[in-house]
Amino acid sequence: MYSLAVSDHFMIAHSFRGEVFGPAQQLHGATYNVEIDFRRPTLDQHGLVCDIGLALQVLREVLGEFNYKNLDELPQFKGRNTTTELLAGEIFARVKARVAEGAVGPGTAGELASLRVVLRESPVAWASFEGALR
């Protein structure tokens, strides 16, 4: 399986519900580093997985929906703990939708097999979400 990865970062504020989160129940900030890995079994006629510039643009657009926002105030997260795991899944779903629209290059929507999103909350802790695109 061939893969192409792009990365970026975003900053948010949020809080958690539940004693398991200890002091993170209070409003706090986080800077996440994000890596997205696009995968397909064969390369296209140009020797590419997908257009790297478009892949980075898609990632930046998706992260822009969260960047510098208090996630507790966004309607889609109302009453939910915006854990690193949950956010990895949210980013996956949004990138997947854009891939289906052809946002990472013509003809790639039907050729990309899977996508992996890695969300790093620190140098020693991260979560990911991986799934099929077809």
Render the burial of 17-49: b for 16+ CB within 10 Å, e for the rest. Answer: eeeeeeeeeeeeebebebbbbbbbeeebeeebb
Residue 53 domain-assigned (yes or no): no
Q: What is the pLDDT of residues 19-71, one digit of tens each?
A: 999 999 999 999 999 999 999 999 999 999 999 999 999 999 999 999 999 99
Is-above-0.85 flag for pTM? yes
> For the domain that residue 116 is a member of, what is the CATH number?
3.30.479.10
Q: Write the CB contacts of 100 (distance below 8 Å, at least 6 apart in sequence).
A: 109, 133
d(CA 2, CA 13): 35
* Domain count for the chain: 1
Q: Write the CB contacts of 78 (distance below 8 Å, at least 6 apart in sequence).
A: none
What phi and psi, each to the nearest 5 degrees, are found at residue 93?
Answer: -60, -40
Name the helix (H) or strand (E) containing 94.
helix 84-100
Q: What is the pLDDT of residues 101-123, one digit of tens each?
A: 999 998 898 999 999 999 999 99
Residue 8 domain-assigned (yes or no): yes
> What local confidence, expressed as pLDDT, does residue 19 receive?
97
d(CA 90, CA 48): 26
**Mean of the per-residue pLDDT values of the chain:** 96
Give the neighbor-by-neighbor strand order of the sheet with 69-70: 69-70, 2-14, 28-40, 114-122, 125-132
Q: What is the pLDDT of residues 1-21, one digit of tens each?
A: 999 999 999 999 999 999 999
> What local confidence, expressed as pLDDT, does residue 107 receive?
86
Residue 79 domain-assigned (yes or no): yes
| Residue ranges making up the domain that contains 6 | 2-33+42-47+59-132
- C-alpha separations of 92 from 27, 36, 46, 52, 59 in Å: 25, 8, 26, 17, 10
> What local confidence, expressed as pLDDT, does residue 73 receive?
97
Residue 54 domain-assigned (yes or no): no
